[in-house]
Each structure stands twice: as structure tokens, then as C-alpha cells.
Amino acid sequence: MLEPNGSDTAPMNDVHTPSPALRLYGADISYFSAKVRAYLRWKGLPFEEVHANRDVYRHTIIPRIGFPVIPVVHTPEGAWLQDSTDIIDTLESQHPDPSIQPPGAVQQLVARLLELLGDEWLLLPAMHYRWHHNRDWAIQAFGALAMPEGSEAEQRSAGERSAGPFAQAAELLGAEPAMHAAVEQAYLGLLQELNTHFEQHPFALGAHASVADFGLYGPLYAHLYRDPASGAIMKQRAPAVVRWIERLSAAPVQPLAAFPATGQIPETLLPILARQMREQLPDLTETAHRFQAWLTLNPDEPVPRVIGKHAFRLEGQTGQRITRPYALWMLQRARETYLATRGDGRVAADQLLDQVGGDAFRRFEDPPPLRRDGMSVALVSA
Ligand SMILES: N[C@@H](CCC(=O)N[C@@H](CS)C(=O)NCC(=O)O)C(=O)O
């Protein structure tokens, strides 16, 4: 069944023929919709996008998924997929060529690490810049999405309502006023490192786009390039990042270039991985400790989306942020890739991790195996 409900069928992107197409419920302003959209385009999978307005949430997303979220993908076979990572994994297993998975063990590890960086850590600068530098624009954009036919005033008040929880999330994720300078310093440092990388390589791992690119593209396109004040910073400071975004926004160039030879990791990724190890890994370590403690006290409870707050460090400053077990599920993917790597591959992975200060990743004390459960996780054994 392709038509979920008669009232929401306004495909916005109809250039991908022929039908039957995948249907992506998403939005231009949405981080994880951008990740899935870039993937679908790169793969050349026919799709049409439905803007998730109020009616679409009410009549399609909430009844099908159980809670309000985008992106959601409806397949021509009738499956409803939620969560950008599961959407990409599922479609990738159905359409393996051209693969977005690089062939080498170390490349696969780096791809998973950069996916984790994009999906989880860059939430902080993305939400900070959107809600502390582009707030009026974002409220209007949320309003226009919710009520495309509404007047400016109606859109504004719908925007205030629907943007509320997202605006609050910027502070909850750690962008409290005292941390603004640190968040910006870290982001501008990363932007510079990414610019140096993309001056020399078309994609994260070289000649071919991988899951690393789609993970990074979510925040860097949807928030940090599209939001006007953030886009101005990117255009001024990081033109090679802008060109990478534009490359990923276009259809794939056929035939696709091959991944670089097994094992090769561009040198220009090392400062980016070192930053991730310095900034994100301590945060994930603390998240895992909090999660273990929570599990001990609540062995039979469903895991909530947030289990309190913890301290984190950025650019020498200490802030507070919410503790989200979901981030551990994303980390688990990178850890599984690492732990499955044996022999020469493991030696090379360890050498790379040593070069980037990745001891905390190598020796991470994994929580019990997790599966995704909506916007949180559950124990695989539960
Ligand atoms: N991890 C999920 C996150 C999806 C997500 O956070 N989507 C945002 C829009 S980009 C949303 O709808 N959030 C609703 C909420 O946070 O309650 C994914 O990868 O799809």
C-alpha cells in the first residue's frame, strides 16, 4: 500500500522516476531527513518526499510509528521504516550496489566512527547555532512546514509551538549560555579540519561516498549550511565543505569511482578523529557509566530516552548535558566493527587509534548488547 492516507499526499520531490518509489516523510530543516535523502540520491533509488506537516504527523506518522518523528520511509512493499540508521541499513541490504560500505576493515571502522560523530556529537553545534543564532528564521521555517497554507501570523504561532521542544534541546544537549563559546570554538576548529580534508578529497574516505558522508551531511547540511547565519559562516570559512555538500546533494556521477585501496585512510581525517576521541569519547564513557548505574537500579524497567544529566568537557570548559542511552547504540555499531576486526586489520586499526588518542575507544567498557527501541534502546536479552 503506497498511499498511507489521502490527505497527506503532496510529493515534493517528484524528479525521481519511475514509480513505484520509496516515500520519504521528512523536511528540509531536519537533520536526519537530510542524511537519508543524501543516501537515497547517492544510491540512485527512486523516491518521493512528503513534507511532514501537521496533517502528515497526525494521519500518517503517529498512527504508523507511534510517536512524532522524521524521517520515516514507506517502501513500495508496504514496510514502514523509522530511524535514519535502520532505514539506511535496511535499504542497503536490499540494494547492495553500489555499496556505501568501504571494503577495508580500518575504513569500515572510520566510517562508523564518523557516522557516530555526525549523528550524535554534532547535534550540539547544530542545535546551538540553529536556536541561538537563527532562532527567528527557524521558527518561521517550522511554522511554514507545519501549516504550509497558513498566514504569516499563523505560521509564526505554529512555529513557536512546534519548535519549542527543539529549541529547548539545544540547552539540554549542553549549549547552556556558559558553554556557547566552547561549542563555537570546537565547531569552528572542526570546520577548519573538514575544510582541509575536503580540499584534498571529494568524500570522507576518498573517492567514494560512504556512511561517514551521510552521517556528517545531516547536521552540516540541514542546520549548519541551510540556516542562514550558520551558512554564512560556512561559506566564509569552509568553501571546500560547501563544495562537498553540493556534491552530495547532486545525483551520483556514474560510474561511481572506486573506494581507495583497502586500508588507506586520508591523513587529513586524523585531526578530525583525534577531536572526536578528545571530545565525544569521554562523553560516551560517562554516558555508559550512568547507564550501567541506571540498569542496576532499574533492571526490569523500559529504558527511557533520557536518564538524567552528566557533566562534559569541551575546550577546557565543563557543562551539563542530558544522558541519552541511544548514543550507546550508535557507539556499539563502531565497537562491533572494531571487535570483529582480527589479525592485520586489528593491528592497523590499533595503530590508527593510537595515532588519534583513541585509547578510550579501544578499551571501552561496553554495556550489555543493545537494540534500538524507538528513540531509546532496550537490552538485546530483554
Ligand atoms: N536517531 C533518529 C533521530 C530522529 C530525529 O531525532 N528526528 C528529529 C528530526 S531531525 C525528530 O523528529 N525529533 C523528534 C523528537 O526529538 O521528539 C534517526 O536517526 O532517525
Domains and CATH numbers, the chain: 6-94 (3.40.30.10), 105-128+179-379 (no CATH), 129-178 (no CATH)
| Centroid of ligand 1 to alpha carbon of 131 (angstroms) | 16
| Centroid of ligand 1 to alpha carbon of 297 (angstroms) | 28
| Centroid of ligand 1 to alpha carbon of 320 (angstroms) | 21
d(CA 315, CA 182) in angstroms, rounded, equals 5
The confidence score (pLDDT) of residue 50 equals 97
The confidence score (pLDDT) of residue 255 equals 57
| Chain Cα centroid distance, residue 28 | 14
The confidence score (pLDDT) of residue 3 equals 28
Best of 120, 375, 376, 377 for a ligand 1 pocket test (most atoms within 8 Å of beta carbon): 375
The confidence score (pLDDT) of residue 15 equals 39
The confidence score (pLDDT) of residue 71 equals 98
The confidence score (pLDDT) of residue 163 equals 86
| Centroid of ligand 1 to alpha carbon of 359 (angstroms) | 30
- Nearest CA, atom 18, ligand 1: 83
What the block records as the C-alpha cell of 68 is 512524532
**Ligand 1 site: residues with CB under 6 angstroms?**
30-32, 69-71, 83-85
Tell me the Cα Rg of the chain. 20
Best of 70, 161, 306 for a ligand 1 pocket test (most atoms within 8 Å of beta carbon): 70
Closest approach atom of ligand 1 to CA 87 = 20
- pLDDT tens string, the chain, 382 residues long: the values are 222 333 333 344 333 344 479 999 999 999 999 999 999 999 989 999 999 999 999 999 999 999 999 999 999 999 999 999 999 999 999 999 888 999 899 999 999 999 999 999 999 999 999 999 999 999 999 999 999 999 999 999 999 998 888 889 999 999 999 999 999 999 999 999 999 999 999 999 988 899 999 999 999 999 999 999 999 999 999 999 999 999 999 877 665 677 776 668 999 999 999 999 999 999 999 999 999 999 999 999 999 999 999 999 999 999 999 999 999 999 999 999 999 999 999 999 999 999 999 999 999 999 999 999 999 999 999 7
| Centroid of ligand 1 to alpha carbon of 82 (angstroms) | 9
| Centroid of ligand 1 to alpha carbon of 226 (angstroms) | 18
Q: Which of 114, 305, 292 is nearest to 197 (CA)?
A: 114
Q: Which of 126, 241, 141, 133 is nearest to 194 (CA)?
A: 241
Continuous H helices in the chain: 31-43, 54-56, 62-65, 84-94, 105-116, 123-133, 135-146, 152-172, 180-200, 211-222, 228-237, 239-249, 270-297, 326-339, 343-355, 359-362
- Nearest CA, atom 20, ligand 1: 83
Give yes or no for a contact between 135 and 223, defined as CB atoms under 8 angstroms apart: no
The confidence score (pLDDT) of residue 164 equals 86
